A = this chain, B = another copy of it.
Amino acid sequence: MKLASLKKGRDGELIVVSRDLGRYCGAADIAPTLQAALDEWDIAQPKLEARFEALQDEQITSFPFTPAECHSPLPRAYHWADGSAYVNHVELVRKARGADMPESFWTDPLMYQGGSDTFLGPTEEIAMPSTDWGIDFEAEVAVVTTDVPMGISAAKAEDSIRLLMLVNDVSLRNLIPGELAKGFGFYQSKPSSAFSPVAVTPDELGHHWRGGMVHLPLHAILNGEKIGSPNAGVDMTFNFPQLIAHAAKSRPLGAGTIIGSGTVSNVDRAAGSCCLAEVRMLEIIADGKAKTPFMQFGDQIEIAMYDENDSDIFGTIHQRVVQYVNPQ
Contacts and interface: CB of A to CB of B under 8 A. Distances in A.
Interface of A: 10, 39, 76-79, 81, 84, 102, 104-105, 108, 110-118, 127-129, 133, 149-153, 156, 172, 175, 180-189, 191-192, 246-247, 249-257, 324, 326-328
B117 A253 contact: yes
Contact of A254 (B117, B183, B186): B117
A62 B111 CA distance: 46
B251 A192 contact: yes
B110 A113 contact: no
A73 to B, nearest CB: 15
B77 A151 contact: no
A153 B328 contact: yes
A185 B188 contact: no
B81 A78 contact: no
Contact of A76 (B105, B114, B186, B254): B254
B118 A254 contact: yes
Contacts of A76: 78, 254
A189 B10 CA distance: 31
A102 B179 CA distance: 13
A186 B191 CA distance: 18
30 contacts: A76-B254, A77-B78, A78-B78, A78-B117, A79-B115, A81-B187, A108-B182, A110-B182, A112-B187, A113-B115, A115-B251, A117-B253, A117-B256, A118-B252, A118-B253, A128-B250, A129-B151, A133-B250, A149-B327, A149-B328, A151-B326, A156-B328, A172-B250, A175-B250, A184-B185, A185-B186, A188-B246, A188-B249, A188-B250, A191-B251
A117 B249 CA distance: 15
A207 to B, nearest CB: 29
Max count, chain B CB within 10 A of own CB: residue among A128, A191, A250, A254: A250
B117 A184 contact: no
A184 B179 CA distance: 10
